[in-house]
Structure 1
Amino acid sequence: MPGGRLTQQDRQRIATGLADGLSYAEIARRLERPTSTITREIGRNGGASGYRPQQAHQATVQRARRGTPAPPRATGSPDGMIEEALVEMAVRTGLPRMTARVHLDLLLSEEGRRTAAELTQRLKISPASVSVAVNFLVEQGFVRRERDQHRRRDVYVVEDEAWYNSIVTSRMQTLETAQVSMAAAEAYGMESPVGRRLARAATFLERISLDMIESADRWRALLT
């Protein structure tokens, strides 16, 4: 059923789509699921080249047992190498390593959500470390906090719109740079060498910022 957990039939259709060379977005469209759900499902179950629907379903059933820690990854295993590469990539962009690990575990979870206790047990880190990481992710808009009223606990959920918001923020920063550059060009004189150089840069950055938001708006639906 669209919006619920992936079924074994869904996973077979994912495997068929991969075999047919379909994109993750197209597979998601056919299953009426968010692209992020398909990305997480494939990423945590062998990747596009190693995805096996039966094994993926069995692994998900095992992971669904509450309190079950994440399966250990052999250092040289394909999944372990992929996850480490993703963490390293996030660290290179400026994300603290522990925060990157927490974010990745949320991204690769079946429903894109976990409690603080689950993150602590799965990643084998202290509650304080989890608190610092999720607070940072919430502040940056990558994760949202929901309240489980029945058990009186917080649940942390991946915010798929964060990628769109990140583009919008980047676009605003680029546009501000363009505006400052143009003001500086006018101050130096538009006919001076410095003024012309700054004006060219300002025009370039302004056009780039417009292209960024147009592209983000065009493809935003892929995140839902």
Structure 2
Amino acid sequence: MPGGRLTHEDRRQIATWLNGGLGYAEIARRLGRPTSTISREVARNSGPGGYLADRAQQVAGRRARRRKPLQLPAEEWPAERVRDFVERFATLLAGTGLPRMPARVFVCLVTSESGSLTAAELVRRLQVSPASVSKAIGYLEAMELVGRRPDPGGRRERYLVDDDVWIRAWRTDTGAHARIAEAAQRGIDLFGPGTPAGTRLGQMGQFFGRISRQMNGSGVTQAVVHDALTVVAALTYAARPLTLDELATALGWPRERAGEALDAIGHRPTIADPFALQRPEPATYTVTPRPERLSPAQREALR
């Protein structure tokens, strides 16, 4: 039922829709679940063969059978220990670039029993001024790390960390990573792939492109990435240009599926790394090794 645990049938539907190229948001809408539920389910239960419903159900069953130790609610933990943890964790977050006070407020919210607190509760727990809390909340809201909702018990507002906060944070970082990869590619075009600058920029672009691809929220699903890699393997094995129809026929796929995989490589070239998709003629496709993968001396030695 919506809001409860995923059933075996839910997991079969997820696997089917992933293979059909649907994104997490659409799958969540069809199942009546939060998008974060689907993204966590797929991330937690994907293996070399992708997301498999039967395997995911078995893992979920084993997890449910584990006995959990009894724990006190966060509000009942010794205050000194809680404050010590908040300060230590906030210090670690500050090391990633998050300012100190927003980091303290964020950790305080994360470790609360309900995941939400009022401004007055934050002031009391952190022993800081209301102005400091207000400024930190404003900073966290601008980064979409914290939301707000009315307090059922009064006219105050509660600040909370919702289930989708990490996906939003990933998307924010991914956008920066993708822009760096694109800028590096422009540098390669400017300096040339065989130059020292082009080689270094190529390595940088591959690194940030890989991070962006692994964390992206662009709608390129795991299933489409898997299909794209299959297309790269097919073109490499064929060792000759193929048309879209020839490729789809050889793979036993509908024409639309092969086309979507090619489009994914076109929009995210690093998916095909260490190969680059080429079109020797308007209607054909082939792959060649990415020139920046090898230095001029390495290419000369291989000749």
TM (normalized to structure 2)? 0.45
Counterpart AA for 2:79: P
Greater displacement, 188-197 / 177-186: 188-197
For 1:21-36, list aligned pairs within 5 A: 30=64
Q: What code does the residue aligned with 1:130 have?
A: V
**Which residue does the alignment assign to 2:181?**
178
Letter in 2 for 1:170: D
CA contact (8 A) 1:144 1:159 kept: yes
- 8 Å contact 2:182–2:205 — kept in the other structure? yes
1:184, CA displacement in angstroms? 1.1
- Structure 1 residue 160: deviation in Å? 2.9
Q: Distance in 2 between matches of 1:129 and 1:201?
A: 39
Match in the other structure for 1:72:
79
Of residues 110, 135, 139, the one that matches 1:136 is: 139
Larger deviation, residues 205-214 vs 182-191: 205-214
Name the SS for the 1:98 alignment partner: helix
Question: In the aligned structure 1, how far is the partner of 2:181 from the partner of 2:215?
Answer: 14
Higher RCO (C-alpha under 8 Å, 6+ residues apart): 1
The one of 83, 90, 95 aligned to 1:92 = 95
Cα deviation digits, residues 34-53 of structure 1 (max 9, x gap)? xxxxxxxxxxxxxxxxx962
For residues 194 and 145 of structure 2, the distance between their equivalents in structure 1, rounded to whole angstroms, comes to 45
State the alpha-carbon separation in 1 of the partners of residues 203 and 95 from structure 2: 31
Deviates more, 1:105-114 or 1:151-160: 151-160
Q: Secondary structure at the match of 1:56?
A: coil
Hey, what's the Cα distance between the residues in 2 that align with 1:80 and 1:148? 24
Counterpart among 51, 72, 88 of residue 56 in structure 1: 72
The AA in structure 1 aligned to 2:130 is: P
Q: Report the counterpart of residue 200 of structure 2 in structure 1.
A: 197
User: What CA distance in whole angstroms lies between the structure 2 residues aligned with 1:127 and 1:114?
Assistant: 13
Aligned length: 161
Whole-Å Cα distance in 1 between the matches of residues 214 and 85 of structure 2?
32
Name stretches of at least 5 consecutive residues in structure 1 with no aligned partner.
Answer: 4-24, 32-50, 64-69, 219-224
* One-letter amino acid of the counterpart of residue 176, structure 2: Q
CA distance in 2, matches of 1:153, 1:81: 28
Q: Distance in 2 between matches of 1:104 and 1:204?
A: 30
| Pairing 1:104-115 to 2, within 5 Å after superposition | 104-115=107-118
Contact kept in structure 2, 1:107 and 1:158, CA below 8 Å:
yes
Alpha-carbon deviations, 1:140-183, whole Å to 9, x = none? 11110112376222111113322111112212111111111111
Report if aligned partners of 1:106, 1:112 keep a CA contact under 8 Å in 2.
yes
Are the aligned partners of 2:86 and 2:108 in contact in 1 as well (CA < 8 Å)? Answer: no
Between the aligned partners of 1:52 and 1:155, the Cα distance in structure 2 is: 30
Match of 1:207 among 210, 216, 221: 210
Aligned pairs for 1:111-130 (under 5 A) are 111-130=114-133
The TM-score normalised by the length of structure 1 is: 0.59
| 1:82 aligned residue | 85
Q: Rg larger in 1 or in 2?
A: 2
> RMSD of the alignment, in Å?
3.4
Does the CA-based 8 Å contact 2:145-2:169 persist in structure 1? no
The runs of 5 or more residues in structure 2 that have no matched partner are 4-58, 223-303
Q: CA deviation at 1:202?
A: 2.0
- For residues 84 and 52 of structure 1, do their structure 2 counterparts lie closer, same or farther at Cα, with a shift above 3 Å needed? farther
* Percentage of pairs with the same residue: 35
**Cα offsets for 1:97-141 (capped at 9, x unmatched):** 222221111111111011111112222221111111111111111
- The residue type equivalent to 1:152 in the other structure is R
Is it true that 1:151 corresponds to 2:154 in the alignment? yes
